Structure 1
Amino acid sequence: MEMDNVYEIVKDTSELQKQNHKKCRGSRCLVSITVGLGLICVLLLISVILQHIRILSFGDKQGLFFMSTELKNWSDSRQYCRDRGADLVIINTEEKQRFISSFATESVWIGLSDTEDEGIMKWVDNSPLKQGFWDESEPNDFGGNEDCVVLNPGRPIMNNWNDLSCSYTIHFICEK
């Protein structure tokens, strides 16, 4: 009697497998698999994008700051930001200096240079530098090759800017 029950269970299982196999045949099964894989790809893409973009609040405003994963010179960094509707970050207050320094983990280009008029530091929006957060004895190359400004997070927060040659390839921060 027990063998008959086992036989019936095996027979029922075998029938279910045949029915399931018939349900997922040909183009219908292929479409389901393709849609599933497509959804997985979209979720992975969203995950990668979110790892590279930080939406952070700054004061009473919302700001979008992008910390690059690529190394670029100052001009290419700026172009990268501009191609995405942003520009290199402008740090024109103590509050913003503290904020940007708090999440920069490596040296990064900021939107300050004297590439247009030697010795006259200007932001990427052409506004003049009113307050700087220079490292000790910086800037030290007015009139030379160090025309672009980098923020060094390893230095004291209120004194971590350095002028460098714009050709160095480092990370950068875009602001929108």
Structure 2
Amino acid sequence: MELEAIYNSDDYDSEVSGPRTQSHCRGEGKLEKLRGSRCVLLVLVILGFICALLLLFITLQHISITAERDLLKTYKNTVEELNHTISSLQHNNTDLKTDKHQLEDKINDLSAQKKQLQNNFNSLNQKKLELENRVTSLNDELIEASKNETLCGLDRLFFSDEAKSWSQSRQFCRDRGADLVIIKSEKKQKIVSLLVNERVWIGLSDIESEGNLTWVDNSTLNQGFWRKGEPNDEHGIEDCVEIMGSHGFSALNNWNDLPCSQKRKAICEK
């Protein structure tokens, strides 16, 4: 009985353990499949993550390249602008150098002109001093001559107040009991020149005999006080004589022949 029970018990365990083992194996197979699916899923997730990272890297790389390209283009434009600016500045610098040279030349010219003007000014000052000394000397001579008016005849000299021809001027003098002045000495020449401050007629002409200058008292000219190159009887019509005075001319040599129809004032002598 007991053996039978045991036997039966073994059969029961055998019967029971048999199905349990099969069920257990099936469970383990499903678990393995599940684990395999999870591994595949994990791998896929990892691969997807890697792909996402790669995509992100590629995108960032593209963005970086694009930014670098834009930056390079900007640098290139900036460099071109700088080169253009440099070229413009160089051109302006060349123009400025040219202007500088021109200004230096003008400054040199002005300096030379200034020096020339200074020399002219000094020369004029020298001439002024010489003329002042000359005027002083002539005034001294006039004062000296005036001490004896009767001898020099200064009290008998007077001027007309209107410019007329030589003949009309002579008539002006004759209407007043005088005639155009006669000058026969160097001393009288200087005195008359000092009295005259413009061109006036004197009593000398060759109206009566061409080429033979005579005074209004019909005396022949023995000594003349002519300007250089005079008398020249230009065009053959200069028959009367004027005195130019000492203002701007020599007090000694200042006679000139000219047409008698010219208008001049007269210096008369009683």
Question: What is the match of residue 169 of structure 1?
Answer: 263
Q: Does 1:127 align with 2:219?
A: yes
Cα deviation digits, residues 19-76 of structure 1 (max 9, x gap): xxxxxxxxxxxxxxxxxxxxxxxxxxxxxxxxxxxxx926365641111111110000
Q: Which amino acid aligns with 1:131?
A: Q
**Larger strand proportion, structure 1 or 2?**
1
Q: Which amino acid aligns with 2:194?
A: S
Q: 1:60 to 1:78 in 2, by over 3 A?
A: closer
Q: Distance in 2 between matches of 1:150 and 1:74?
A: 9
Question: What is the match of residue 160 of structure 1?
Answer: 254
Q: Distance in 2 between matches of 1:136 and 1:58?
A: 32
Matching residue within 100, 106, 109 for 2:198? 106
User: Gaps (5+ residues) in structure 1?
Assistant: 1-55
Matching residue within 142, 152, 159 for 1:67? 159
Q: 1:172 to 1:119 in 2, by over 3 A?
A: same
**Larger helix proportion, structure 1 or 2?**
2
Count of aligned residue pairs for this structure pair: 121
Q: Distance in 2 between matches of 1:175 and 1:156?
A: 22
Q: Distance in 2 between matches of 1:58 and 1:135?
A: 29
Q: Which amino acid aligns with 1:83?
A: D
Segments of 4+ moved more than 3 angstroms: 58-63
The 8 Å contact of residues 160 and 172 in structure 2, kept in 1 or not, is answered as no
Structure showing greater relative contact order (alpha-carbon pairs closer than 8 Å, 6 or more residues apart): 1
Taking structure 2 as the reference length, the TM-score comes to 0.43
Q: Distance in 2 between matches of 1:60 and 1:155?
A: 22
Q: Distance in 2 between matches of 1:90 and 1:158?
A: 15
The 8 Å contact of residues 152 and 188 in structure 2, kept in 1 or not, is answered as no
Q: Distance in 2 between matches of 1:117 and 1:142?
A: 17
Question: What is the match of residue 78 of structure 1?
Answer: 170
Q: 1:9-158 counterparts in 2 under 5 A?
A: 57=149, 59=151, 61=153, 63-141=155-233, 144-153=236-245, 154-158=248-252
Q: Which amino acid aligns with 1:146?
A: E
Question: What is the match of residue 89 of structure 2?
Answer: none
Q: Which amino acid aligns with 2:188?
A: K
Q: Which amino acid aligns with 1:149?
A: V
Q: Distance in 1 between matches of 2:206 and 2:182?
A: 14
Q: Which amino acid aligns with 2:251?
A: I
SS in 2 for 1:59: helix
Q: Distance in 2 between matches of 1:144 and 1:175?
A: 29
Q: Distance in 2 between matches of 1:99 and 1:74?
A: 22
Q: 1:136 to 1:62 in 2, by over 3 A?
A: closer
Taking structure 1 as the reference length, the TM-score comes to 0.65
Q: Which amino acid aligns with 1:111?
A: G
